[in-house]
Structure 1
């Protein structure tokens, strides 16, 4: 039963949210120093020659939220026997990912010099991909429910 398609979609959503820990949300170069925002903080590369990164500011609440939302997706995989509960948790997770994405945009504005001229990294688009995977998981749950209802009619 654990090999259902919604388990695969939820696992992909988990992987996507874990990737947010390692990929930058925004990047901006100001007078030779490059600033990057990750979910765990603001990093600045002082010179391109040495490549030394310095953590300027820590975003611990954002990091904890990222880990919590990824953990919700992962733990929801094991609710495959209770499809209605699984669906409700996924809907809550979608709302949490939406709030997390908004919160990331608030932190992205803290990049030195503002967002003007900044480029968005891959981390900026990953919450939308995670939401897509969660919606596909809901479609998989609905498909399972239709299959079970049709099998019960045949009995």
Structure 2
């Protein structure tokens, strides 16, 4: 059934990873410039003599990875009939999210001056939240398996 609790947890993980696309990971202000990193690029806003210039360094592979991991979580919702496969895919997804978060931190260090003095945005904490939702989905799958085993004993 699609109403299982692991479907809700996987949907929340998908939503969390989708929010990574629009929320900033880190912001740094130094002198007359401000740098903000998103999963799709680093924005450098330089203000001199009341004139603002915006330079963008695209991070297309990072954005594609973000979308791929979110789609993997969403598609896994529909594996509810094959719980063991669903659990294996969730474990792989957790590893992919951890790798994605590590890759985000490496790209965040590409901001001018590195991460010294940078303020982390909400996007920096969302991968950990997505991993939490995936772990909760695994707990839901285990609970379903125990319920099915106990129902089979009653037959």
Looking at structure 2, the residues matched to 53 and 123 of structure 1 have their Cα atoms a distance apart, in angstroms, of 24
Contact 1:41–1:55 at 8 Å: present in 2 too?
Answer: no
User: Greater shift after overlay, 120-129 or 38-47?
Assistant: 38-47
Contact 1:43–1:57 at 8 Å: present in 2 too?
Answer: yes
Looking at structure 2, the residues matched to 9 and 83 of structure 1 have their Cα atoms a distance apart, in angstroms, of 14
Looking at structure 2, the residues matched to 31 and 20 of structure 1 have their Cα atoms a distance apart, in angstroms, of 27
Contact 1:16–1:130 at 8 Å: present in 2 too?
Answer: yes
**Cα distance change of structure 1 residues 103 and 53 upon mapping to structure 2, 3 Å threshold:** farther
Looking at structure 1, the residues matched to 54 and 11 of structure 2 have their Cα atoms a distance apart, in angstroms, of 33
Partner of 1:134, secondary structure, is helix
Looking at structure 2, the residues matched to 105 and 112 of structure 1 have their Cα atoms a distance apart, in angstroms, of 14
Match runs of 1:42-53 below 5 Å: 42-47=42-47
The reply to whether residue 39 of structure 1 matches residue 35 of structure 2 is no
Contact 1:35–1:111 at 8 Å: present in 2 too?
Answer: yes
Contact 1:43–1:53 at 8 Å: present in 2 too?
Answer: no
Q: Which residue in 1 is equivalent to 2:112?
A: 112
RMSD of aligned Cα (Å): 1.5
**Alignment TM-score, normalising by the size of structure 1:** 0.95
- 4+ residue segments displaced more than 6 Å: 50-53
Looking at structure 1, the residues matched to 111 and 3 of structure 2 have their Cα atoms a distance apart, in angstroms, of 42
Q: Which residue in 2 is equivalent to 1:139?
A: 139
Q: Which residue in 2 is equivalent to 1:151?
A: 151
Q: Which runs of 5+ in 2 are unaligned?
A: none
**Alignment TM-score, normalising by the size of structure 2:** 0.95
Looking at structure 2, the residues matched to 154 and 34 of structure 1 have their Cα atoms a distance apart, in angstroms, of 65
Give, in angstroms, the shift of residue 91 of structure 1. Answer: 0.2
**Cα distance change of structure 1 residues 37 and 145 upon mapping to structure 2, 3 Å threshold:** same
Count of matched residue positions in the alignment of Structure 1 and Structure 2: 153
Instruction: String of CA shifts for 1:54-105, please: whole Å, max 9, x gaps.
Output: 3421101100000000000000000000000000000000000000000000
